[in-house]
Amino acid sequence: MSKSPIGTTAKTGEKCPESGVWKSMDSPSTTAPIAKNNTMPPHNQKAVTWKLTQYA
């Protein structure tokens, strides 16, 4: 099983494709540890795109 590459993106409501540290692509941004197959969360009560920055 290959890992999703660093830089992979996922949107709020989608299943997380890879466990790791994800950064929100909004402003101000935040980072969050999210486990594979969890639902990608909203940020600041909004749907956002998250980008994988680091593996778990």
Q: DSSP state, 20? A: E
Q: What SS3 class is residue 6?
A: coil
Q: What is the pLDDT of residues 10-48, one digit of tens each?
A: 999 999 999 999 999 999 999 999 999 999 999 999 999
Range 5-10 average pLDDT: 98
Rounded distance between C-alpha atoms, residue 34 and residue 20, angstroms: 6
pLDDT at 1 over 80: no
* pTM for this entry: 0.95
In sequence order, which residues have a C-beta less than 8 Å from that of residue 15 and are 6 or more positions away? 37, 38, 39, 40
